[in-house]
Amino acid sequence: MEPSSSKPVSSSSWETGIEVGDATFPRGFWAYAWEGGPRLRMALLVSDRPATVAGRFTVNAAQAAPVQLCRRLVAGGVSQAAVINAGNANALTGAQGRADAERMQQLCGQALGIEPATVAVASTGVIGVPLPMAEIEAGIHYLAERYQMGAPSEGEKAARAILTTDTRPKTGALTVSLSGGTVRIGYMAKGSGMIHPGMATMLVFLTTDAAVAPAVLDRLVGEAVDASFHALSVDGDMSTNDTVLCWANGASGVVVEQAEDVQAFGAALTRLAQVAARQIAADGEGATHLITARVRGAQTVADARQKARAIIASALVKTAVYGRDPNWGRVLAAVGASGLPWDPARASLWMNGLCLYNQGVPLPFDEAEAKARMAAFEVVFEVALGEGEAEAEAWGCDLTEGYVDINAHYRT
């Protein structure tokens, strides 16, 4: 049987239009970094005025102390700064951990001369170890002093300071034209392992100089997270510290309130979050390939998203990609294991543009050609379900010996 006339959608040019920039790209945001040692680095992100804030966090029941603190902060709807440490997660550290997170918030607020309750706290690193508070306090004072003295902003250095097993920082920016003028959105993020929907070991800090009402910002952040970080998996392990925060400080003077402006701003925020999610997947621990799963022809977006997630979360798919083995049956088996119904007789599958399965029938293919296509850094699996018009993407990476090596010796 010849492939159906339905062609695979070409791989999205995600980076097209994305500007060089970070969380300090929007007006009124500053960032600084402090190198405390091999097991401690810190960053400060601060707005020159109070900002509306929204966030999403891990659903792991073993939530770290900073996550608990930030949940309360987001409920208040206003924030002006974030202090972040890498190397120690301050997770499963009991009452002392909660007191230490609150101490970080208090010290940072006092040093910056702002209301301490508006300071977010985020941590990443080893679980179950108390924070080295003497060093943490020294770092907070150094960072706040840099801001107070008007030192040049260090957005790129701050993005590097929050990394753990990452091999590179994750940053990006967009300028959005709205009816009242242009606004900027930027971000810095970290994430490489312990990544799985619901959410993952990621810290993501989104900023914008637009003025956005709290309820609107919260809705748009939720939509962006669902379409990006909840469509991401490196290793299937859910973290204790996931934090996505978004600040809107209004420094541009442009208010996002008209329906078309809300739609345009939300689309830009989602796109930027998706770029960050792809960066995290591409930098998965030990990864040699980025895996994109695109499911289309579904009845609903939720259905397409869950099936796409199942593909990128499959260890068998991940290892096949690592070995450049076009063992495509694993992809459809993962769709079947998604927990949602589908009809294999109506489905088709492409791998980097090569049709391998068409409307329920496996197609002969050149093994050497298939392996050559899998040599590309990004391997795209596209499944057409033939059931509707909805589609979604999810992102992950291959599973290699490098992942095992990193995690076998993470503490040592």
Residue 387: DSSP 8-state: S
- Of 148, 137, 146, 109, which Cα lies nearest the Cα of 40? 137
C-alpha atoms less than 13 angstroms from C-alpha of 156 in its C-beta half-sphere: 3
First to last CA, the chain: 55
The reply to whether omega before 199 is within 30° of 0 (cis) is yes
Q: Which residues pair with 379 in a beta bridge?
A: 291
Report d(CA 95, CA 171) in Å as an integer: 34
Pairing status of strand 199-200 against strand 195-196: antiparallel
Pairing of strands 243-248, 378-384: unpaired
Chain centroid to CA 39: 23
**Cα angle, residue 100 at apex, residues 97 and 101 outer, rounded to 5°:** 90
Return the closest-CA partner of residue 268 out of 395, 392, 176. 176
Phi-psi region of 386 (alpha: psi -120 to 50; beta: other; left: phi over 0): left
- Selecting among 58, 118, 124, 201, the annotated active-site residue is 201
If phi over 0 gives left and psi between -120 and 50 gives alpha, with beta otherwise, what is residue 339? left
Q: How many CA atoms lie within 13 A of 129 on its CB side?
A: 15
Mind giving me the DSSP string for 227-256? Answer: TTGGGEESSS---S--EEEEEE--TT--EE
Could you give the angle at which helices 329-336 and 315-322 cross, rounded to 10 degrees? 160
CA-closest candidate to residue 235, choices 163, 170, 302, 165: 165
Write the DSSP symbol of residue 26: S
* Catalytic residue flag (residue 182): no
Instruction: Find out whether 29 and 46 touch, Cβ atoms under 8 Å.
Output: yes
Sign of CA dihedral 329, 332, 337, 341: negative
Q: Which helix (H) or strand (E) holds 377?
A: none
| Residues known to be catalytic | 201
